[in-house]
Amino acid sequence: MALKHNGSALALSAMLATVAGFGGAPLAAEPVLSPLVAMPVAAPNPVRGADDKIHLAYELTLINQSQLIVGIEAVDVVDAVTDQVIQHLDWKAVDAQLRLNSREEGNVMAPANSGYLFMDVTFAADAKLPPVIAHRFQLSVKSTKPDADGPKPPSSISFRGVPVSVGAPAVVITPPLKGPRWVVGGGCCATISYHRGATLSINGQVHVAERFAIDFVQLSDNGSLASGPAAALASYRYFGAEILSVADGVVAAIHDGDAEEVPGKLPEGKSIDNAGGNYVVVDIGEGHFAFYAHLQPGSLRVKQGDHVGQGQVLALLGNSGNTDTPHLHFHVMDGPSPLEANGLPYAFTAFEGEGVVREEAPLFTDGVVNIDASALAGPHKDQLPLNLEVVSFP
C-alpha cells in the first residue's frame, strides 16, 4: 500500500525489511511509510541488577522526518523471531522516557524534531534472552495545515522494525571502594538520571559514555554527607578514600594536576574536556575500560602503560573537575576516551544492600537522607547496584 503526500504517490521498495534472527525464521516487517525514524545508539548488553532482574538499558534516536505532527502513542518491545511482546510502553511511559532535543516536552514531536527514547527492558533473572529484539510503534499523526487542499494523512500509523541485537553479558568486577554506606548517585536504569540521560555528540556521532555511571558518596553515621561546613573538604570523612582497581589491566590513560574544587557549588569555567578532573582509565580486557574520575591531585599511584592488579590502589577520592561534592565517578566503557565511548554494564562480585534513598535532594543540599532500609536489602552477588541504592563493600 502506498501513502499519498502532496498529491503524489510515494511507493516503497519492494524489498521487505527483515529482522535477522537466530534459532528460528526471521519475521518480515511489513513495509509502512513512516514519518518517524528510529535508530539504536548502540546494541545493549544485559546486566543483572540488584532487583534480581536482567536489564537491557539502551537508547533509540528518534527523528520526525516529516512535516506532520507525530504523537508516539505506544511502543512495544518484541522478540524479533517470535514477535512475542516483551515490554509495553503506553503513552504515559513513553512520555516519561522520551527526551526531545527541542524545548518541547511530552511525546508529541513537531515536524523535523528529534530526541532519544531511553529504554530499560527487563527480564526475569532466569530468562533466556532473545538474540535480537524489535520495536512496534503506534503513532498518531496530524497535519500542520489541516485545512489545506489535497490528500489528508492517516490519523494513525503502526509499524514494526528497528531491530537491535542483544550483546554479551556484563563484565563482573570487584568494587572500586571499601566500606559501608556508599550511595549510588546517578545510577541506572529505569530513572533517567543525570548520567543515564547524558547523550553527547562527539565529532558527529552520539555517545552515551555514562549509561551505567555511578557517583559514589558515603553517608556519615547520621545520614548526611558532611559532618561539618559543607564548603570544607575535611567535612567529608570519605574524602581521600582509596580507589581500587576493579580488575587486572593496563593503564590506558591518566590525567593529573587539576586542583581540588570548593564543595557546595559547581565550579565555573569547566569545559567538557576537563569535567572529569584528575582521572585514570584502565584497560581491563575484551574491549572494556574502567574509568575513575574526580581524583585528588598528586594522589595517582600509576602512570600510563603500568600493569595493575585487581584491588591495587590507583589514587585517592577527591573533588577535582566539574563537581560540587567529593565523590568517585566510576563507569566502564568500550574505549579509552571518556568522551568518545559508550558505557558498558558491569556487575560487582559482592556487596551488601542497606536500602534505597527515598529522595535524592538532601544529597545536594547537605541534608540528612531518608533511607528505605527494606528496599534491595541484603547480600548481592554479581549484580549492578541500582540508582540511589545504599551499599557496603567488603
* Banded pLDDT at 20 (limits 50, 70, 90): very low
Cβ atoms of 66 and 100 within 8 Å: the answer is no
| Interval 116-145 mean pLDDT | 95
Answer whether residue 152 shows pLDDT above 90: no
| pLDDT value for 103 | 74
pLDDT digits (tens, 9 = 90+) for 156-207: 999 999 999 999 999 999 999 999 999 999 999 988 999 999 999 989 999 9
pLDDT digits (tens, 9 = 90+) for 280-307: 999 999 999 999 999 999 999 999 999 9
Please provide the average confidence, as pLDDT, over all residues in the chain: 90
Answer whether residue 344 shows pLDDT above 60: yes
Cβ atoms of 274 and 321 within 8 Å: the answer is yes
Answer whether residue 3 shows pLDDT above 60: no
Which of 68, 60, 83 minimizes the C-alpha distance to 33? 68
- What is the dihedral sign for C-alpha 83, 85, 86, 89? positive
* Banded pLDDT at 16 (limits 50, 70, 90): very low
| pLDDT value for 190 | 86
| pLDDT value for 362 | 85
pLDDT digits (tens, 9 = 90+) for 85-97: 999 999 999 999 9
The set of residues, in sequence order, having a beta carbon less than 8 Å from that of 37 and lying 6+ positions away, is 61, 62, 63, 64, 65
- Top mean pLDDT of 38-47, 99-108, 154-163, 270-279 is at 38-47
* Banded pLDDT at 367 (limits 50, 70, 90): confident
> What is the distance, to the nearest Å, from the Cα of residue 109 to the centroid of all Cα atoms in its chain?
23
| pLDDT value for 360 | 87
Answer whether residue 226 shows pLDDT above 50: yes
| pLDDT value for 364 | 81
| Interval 15-36 mean pLDDT | 59
Residue located via cell numbers 556487596? 351
| pLDDT value for 147 | 59
For residues 31 and 1, give the distance between their C-alpha atoms in angstroms, rounded to a whole number. 8
